[in-house]
Structure 1
Amino acid sequence: MLDRAEETMLENAEERKADAAAWFRSLRDSICEAFEALEDVGAPGPFSALAPGRFEVTPTERDGGGGGLMSVMRGGRVFEKVGVNWSEVHGTLAPPAQAAMAARGVPGIAEDPRFWASGISLVAHMRNPHCPAVHMNTRMFWTPNAWWFGGGADLNPCLPHEEDTAHFHAEMKAACDPHGPLEGEDRYEKLKAWADEYFFIPHRGRARGVGGIFYDDLNTGDWDADFAFTRDVGAHFLPAFLPVTERRRAQPWTEEDKEAQLIHRGLYAEYNLVYDRGTKFGLATGHNPDAVLMSLPPEAKWH
């Protein structure tokens, strides 16, 4: 049985879906603007003579309904490759995706495979090996009988610096704390532990990076509260990441540092192709494969 809050959400679904999609789009716009401004500043070193990087924006379409914007910057002075994608898609789940959601306990999905989803997904691979790669996404998912939010952000340095890790986590905690406990636990600690578990690479026996926060299937019964939290996660991304990049973009690096970066990128690619839930869902639901796989680094190495 649905409680009254869930019934209200489903009754107001179109308005709230529009609000969520618009906010994800606005977050995408602000991040792209900030990244291009960082490119204008640039950094000393071998790439300083390059023109400031700019995003190439490509509309995408999903077979079955909806689409989005794929925004990718390649070959910049600070960013070697960064993608900031926004999407709003709808239609009918393919049988494998439908079965996976039924197995997760999504109510009614086994009988009615219709869905709607919107969100922003970001992955940045940096020029300077001292600048950490980073991932962030926030999203909303709706079916005729359920809705939920998901997302998070995590830092992926090849050459970790303790002060960078501490700063990033402090901003993630600042996104969580105003919203109080989640399921009786400290929200930040719960979502930090979830990120540590989710971004772990079993076949390597190690984490992908230095963590952050992660959450999925967030439905407390209060759509406004859950959306407000999701907005805060997105709004804290730039304050978490930009100061780290500004601190490291001019730091000298060696060929050994670059080698470490390329090997770490191989680790990142392994995770995204083998384990990442968003990659699997995007491909299974027929979204543009270039947009789904934009997270892959421009270069990588394996031993």
Structure 2
Amino acid sequence: MEGQMDDQRQRAALWFRELRDRIVSAFEGLEDRGPGDGPVGRFVVTPTQRGEDGGGGLMSVMRGGRVFEKVGVNWSEVHGTLAPKAQAAMAARGVPGMDSDPRFWASGISLVAHMQNPHAPAVHMNTRMFWTPGTWWFGGGADLNPCIEYPADIDHFHATLRDACARHDADYYDRFKAWADEYFFVPHRGRARGVGGIFYDDLNSGDWNADFAFTREVGQAFLPAFLPLAEARMAQGWTEEDRDVQLVHRGLYAEYNLVYDRGTKFGLETGHNADAVLMSLPPVAKWP
């Protein structure tokens, strides 16, 4: 059984790495088609290491491109022993065996894109697998964060995710959309971070292959959901007022990620590279 799980973990880590490579290539291709005659953006790739325990990953960040003002596409595969605070949080969530055995393994991809053009929506996506000696689960999702909302863009993004969910379970989209609406809410502002998408965590149906297939589907749906929106909006004219709206919205995004985001907290508490954990923060933001 342990050997089977080792194989499954390897399959998951390889898939997340493949998805990372695919998205990096697509984003650099979009930069090649971007407007203007400024520098074409390219990712700078930096290996990362997780503290004194095991594993690491790749931090891939592009800054100052024609289309992307800042975008990060990170992949990681880490393992070791959870610190007491993180172990206690896992135990409080009811993770089997976590009260007595703090070992863990995790792999995934995490992406956040902040765009040059205020009409082009920011976006977030991640998928991951987590293992402890007592259990395993998948999590992830994608959500759209436009500062200037276009109903057609929102409909396309959600429809693509809805179709991806429907290929696996008729209830997944409604369940995971509602979860995203709750999870990406900013309580101290009384509003959502963006226009939602899907979010899921602790996915363990008992059928590893089925849950892995769904997680791959979510990853595969990302580019068809987002890329047409970025391409359609990247050359649209904008004003300084539009830019101001964008920067204020980025402030909201930063507040959420620093105060509430579970992935940010986990990454910092488990000793992963801080720059990789915080790559989601926008390059420039402002507050009213």
Query: TM-score interval w.r.t. the shorter chain?
Result: over 0.9
Number of the residue aligned with 2:269: 284
Deviations 1:207-228 (A, max 9, x none): 0000000000000000000000
Tell me by how many angstroms 1:160 deviates: 0.5
CA distance in 2, matches of 1:202, 1:41: 39
Runs of 4+ in 1 over 3 A off after TM superposition: none
CA distance in 2, matches of 1:180, 1:261: 36
CA distance in 2, matches of 1:39, 1:246: 10
Choose from 222, 230, 233 the match for 1:237. Answer: 222
Tell me by how many angstroms 1:13 deviates: 1.1
CA distance in 1, matches of 2:10, 2:28: 27
Long gaps (5+) in structure 2: none
Number of the residue aligned with 2:103: 114
1:122-133, aligned counterparts within 5 Å?
122-133=111-122
Alignment of 1:35 with 2:19, yes or no, is no
* RMSD, aligned α-carbons: 0.7
TM-score scaled by structure 2? 0.99
**Amino acid of the residue matched to residue 84 of structure 1?**
V
**Amino acid of the residue matched to residue 107 of structure 1?**
P
**Amino acid of the residue matched to residue 232 of structure 1?**
E
Number of the residue aligned with 1:3: none
Tell me by how many angstroms 1:11 deviates: 5.0
Alignment of 1:61 with 2:49, yes or no, is yes
CA distance in 1, matches of 2:153, 2:121: 9
Partner of 1:38, secondary structure, is helix
Deviations 1:73-93 (A, max 9, x none): 000000000000000000000
Number of the residue aligned with 1:256: 241
Long gaps (5+) in structure 1: 1-7
Choose from 164, 167, 174 the match for 1:178. Answer: 167
Number of the residue aligned with 1:4: none
CA distance in 1, matches of 2:163, 2:65: 31
**Amino acid of the residue matched to residue 60 of structure 1?**
T
Tell me by how many angstroms 1:12 deviates: 1.2
CA distance in 2, matches of 1:123, 1:32: 12
TM-score scaled by structure 1? 0.94
Tell me by how many angstroms 1:49 deviates: 2.2
Tell me by how many angstroms 1:103 deviates: 0.3
Number of the residue aligned with 2:75: 86
CA distance in 2, matches of 1:39, 1:141: 33
Number of the residue aligned with 2:8: 16
**Amino acid of the residue matched to residue 103 of structure 1?**
A
**Amino acid of the residue matched to residue 42 of structure 1?**
G
- Count of aligned pairs: 287
**Amino acid of the residue matched to residue 7 of structure 2?**
E
**Amino acid of the residue matched to residue 211 of structure 2?**
D
CA distance in 2, matches of 1:161, 1:11: 49
Tell me by how many angstroms 1:201 deviates: 0.2
CA distance in 2, matches of 1:14, 1:76: 40
CA distance in 1, matches of 2:3, 2:17: 23
CA distance in 1, matches of 2:91, 2:265: 16
Alignment of 1:146 with 2:157, yes or no, is no
Deviations 1:35-64 (A, max 9, x none): 000000111xxxx22121000000000011
Deviations 1:161-183 (A, max 9, x none): 000000000011011001114xx
Deviations 1:20-46 (A, max 9, x none): 000000000000000000000111xxx
CA distance in 1, matches of 2:46, 2:130: 23
Deviations 1:170-199 (A, max 9, x none): 011011001114xxxx11011000000000
1:178-257, aligned counterparts within 5 Å?
178-181=167-170, 186-257=171-242
CA distance in 2, matches of 1:80, 1:102: 39
**Amino acid of the residue matched to residue 105 of structure 2?**
W
CA distance in 2, matches of 1:240, 1:187: 17
Number of the residue aligned with 1:163: 152
